[in-house]
Amino acid sequence: MNHKVDIIGASTCFGQPKLGVDFGPDAIRYAGLAKALEIQGMNVEDKGNITGQYKVDPTLHSAKEEMGLLNFEQVKDFSTELAEEVESSVKLGRFPLILGGDHSLSIGSIAGISPHYENLGVIWYDAHGDLNDSETSPSGNIHGMPLAVACGVGHESFVNLHQPGVKVKPENVVLIGMRDLDVGEREYIKENDILTFTVTDIREKGMASVMDEAIAYLKGKVDGLHLSLDVDGLDPTETPGTGTPVDGGMSLSETQLAMRRLNESDLVTSMDLVEVNPLLDEKNMTAEKAVEIASFLFGKKQL
């Protein structure tokens, strides 16, 4: 693992309708992220927060709809700014750790990372596939679309953001923790033969086996691996402070094991840690779990 880590706050709530998720980066910082990573021997630089137009647009949540995409312009502008910041980090040979913020931020983070890899891989650790577009999305919320955009599906302004074209090949994607997929997402997964592990798969096989299979599938195929982890991948009893919780998710111990396996693989080159909403949280426990998850990715052990 790269020991030089840039913390980049992506303070966006543009991709969904609930206020508060834009405070997620600071909640994670308050929970002790930088210190926790430094204990693991990381060289940590905090690059502050990207906030986009939120500073000058208090009417954001009127949520003007364009082309079936809510807050289209805000997401596009924010994603462009984030992509530039993330690419700067990668160019300096550092590990960008992007804190959210809603999952639409991955449009920008992946766009900033992908120019530096011929075959970028993605592990999407989430309750949802985030593989919708404006035609398949039931809501028009862009936080349900970033992985589709990365794979080249969606509005051309998003698909071509920062650099033209596909950022990630579908065959280089692994989905982990799926339990709330829309019809269009299911069809896309089947059509593109995306390696997918549902929560049922994890219960039947065990997390260690699932992670070993995912790592073996990607190793040798990819020259960089982006981990995009939504805290709603965990069960709401573990991470209540998130906007789209789904019962029956992974436990913290399962997630710690997954992170430990990824650390041992030495494949991960960047990470999103998203959808922490302190306004929905209980005593900042979701942000604290986010810190614990990141700590295990960067080498924390229980013994």
- Residues with a catalytic annotation lie at 103, 126, 128, 130, 143, 230, 232, 275
1 residue type, one letter:
M
Is 103 known as a binding-site position?
A: yes
Pairing, β 120-125 against β 173-178: parallel
User: Residue 133 contacts by C-beta under 8 Å, 6 or more apart in sequence?
Assistant: 145, 148, 153, 154, 155, 184
Q: Residue 281: exposed, middle, or buried by beta-carbon count in 10 A (0-12, 13-18, 19+)?
A: buried
Q: Residue 152: exposed, middle, or buried by beta-carbon count in 10 A (0-12, 13-18, 19+)?
A: middle
Alpha helices in the chain (DSSP H): 24-30, 33-39, 72-91, 105-113, 146-150, 156-159, 183-192, 199-205, 207-218, 252-265, 285-297
Is 130 known as a binding-site position?
A: yes
DSSP label of 73: H
Is 126 known as a binding-site position?
A: yes
d(CA 277, CA 23): 7
d(CA 255, CA 166): 29
The distance from CA 141 to its chain's CA centroid, rounded to whole angstroms, is: 16
**Residue 57: how many other CB atoms lie within 10 Å:** 14
Which residues define the annotated binding site? 103, 126, 128, 130, 230, 232
Annotated binding site for Mn(2+): 103, 126, 128, 130, 230, 232
